[in-house]
Amino acid sequence: MRALESDRGLKVLFRPMKSHIVDLSYFVNLGAIEEKPENEGYCHALEHMLFAGTQNRDWEQINRDWEKIGADSNAWTGHDKTHYSANCMRSVWEESLEVLMDILHNPTFPEERWEEIEKPVIISEIQGEQDDADHELETETYRHALGEDYHPIMGSIESIKRATIEDLKLFYNNYYRGDNLVLAIAGDLTEEQVLRAVNRFDNSNRERPHRKRRPKFKFINKTLTLKKHLLEQEYLMLLKPVFVPKTRKGKMALDIAVACFSQYLFEELREKRGLCYWVSASIYDELRAGKSYYLKIRAATDVERFKKLERTVRDCVKNFKQAFDSQRIRNMIMAGKYETLVASERTDEATALMWESWLEGTIEGDPYKNQLDILDDLNDSYIRRVASRAFQGDMKFGKTIGK
């Protein structure tokens, strides 16, 4: 991976790869975690409005210009970042890059488009997620556990209804500039080709962005119960803060530990007892304020088996050390190596890893080789120590049940 810089000062991360596909990913170091109550959901709203028109294209032309070269464009908002991407064939990568940089640097924010199209669409999107019992449980568990400093990614219906186009313009002008902007490119290209194209299209605002809000969550360990009509299943979620590893080795050991525990849950709940179709344990690392990641366990089953499911999950958490036998640890390390090698051949995976490496300040060398070397270096005792730190202590309990 190479860290480059455009003539205007835009950070450009580049990984040369033998591939017919080029991935272009524009990361904005801004997500819902930085929002305030008065601008809740604005990061996600900007994601919509940057496709609404630029100084050079209306919304329809943006779509057509990508479609005619067969590019796959998308965008999504997280708690810690907003990501705009375009995958395309190598032969048309410069055309795709020009459109991507146009929507990031030259948006016009047409008011009619916001009020008549995008605002109703976002409200519908929020309503759809509120109708999803599993998703609503996750959102409300975080809100309940972390307090008023937590903001769901899409905001609330009320905050979107009152947002004006001028509010969104101000939010964009304050944060979509300077070091908040990072472009990542992976494909069969040279540094000279990358910089030549970026310099031709770069119109980024290099002013220092406004200082971002950094909330400090105080974890509240209280049970939450949501009730919804007409549910065929009842949903369970457990949540607890875990330490943020200081090194890439620590982070990867935590990933292996959680993978071991997730498989242990699946075997205990699904394979041995038939209590549910699915159960998962995972780490959510986008809420890094307060120096914590969040370990979450999720499952669902019918009304008759829900109480037994709940008891069994709690027993598994209490007896978490049973998940970390040597064979399971070795299996998960081998799975990690396989996933790393698969990812190393995908340009879209490369840009995502470059972004993470840039945030960590570890941009030297090949990030995939670094990961494989770390996996080779991991041992059972180290992973068990990491697991003990992560799994010990109370977990907040949330559930969604039918009325």
* Residue ranges, CATH 3.30.830.10, the chain: 2-201, 224-402
**CA-to-CA distance for 342 and 337, rounded, in angstroms?**
9
Q: What residues have CB less than 8 Å from 18, skipping those under 6 apart?
A: 188
User: In whole angstroms, how large is the CA radius of gyration of the chain?
Assistant: 22
Quickly count: other Cβ atoms within 10 Å of residue 184's Cβ: 26
Strand order across the beta sheet in which 234-243 lies: 224-228, 396-402, 234-243, 292-301, 279-284
Got the DSSP string for 144-179? HHHGGG---TT--HHHHHH--HHHHHHHHHHHSSGG
Rounded to an integer, what distance in angstroms lies between the CA atom of residue 399 and that of residue 225? 5
pLDDT at 198 over 80: yes
Indicate whether 264 pLDDT > 90: yes
Over range 192-220, report the average pLDDT: 89
Angstrom distance (rounded) from CA 205 to CA 348:
26
**CA 383/CA 90 separation, integer angstroms:** 41
CA dist 7 and 143 (Å) reads 43
Specify whether the CB–CB gap between 14 and 4 falls below 8 A. yes
Question: Is residue 202 within 8 Å of residue 8, measured between CB atoms?
Answer: yes
Rounded distance between C-alpha atoms, residue 62 and residue 103, angstroms: 8
Q: What confidence tier does 258 reach under pLDDT thresholds 50, 70, 90?
A: very high
CATH class of the domain at 2-201:
alpha beta
pLDDT at 403: 44
pLDDT tens profile 140-188: 888 888 777 788 899 999 999 999 999 999 999 999 999 999 999 999 9
Region 224-402: CATH code = 3.30.830.10
Q: What is the mean pLDDT of the chain?
A: 90
* Distance set, CA 381 to CA 132, 140, 253, 283, 352 (Å): 40, 36, 11, 21, 30
**131-147 pLDDT tens trace:** 888 888 888 888 888 77
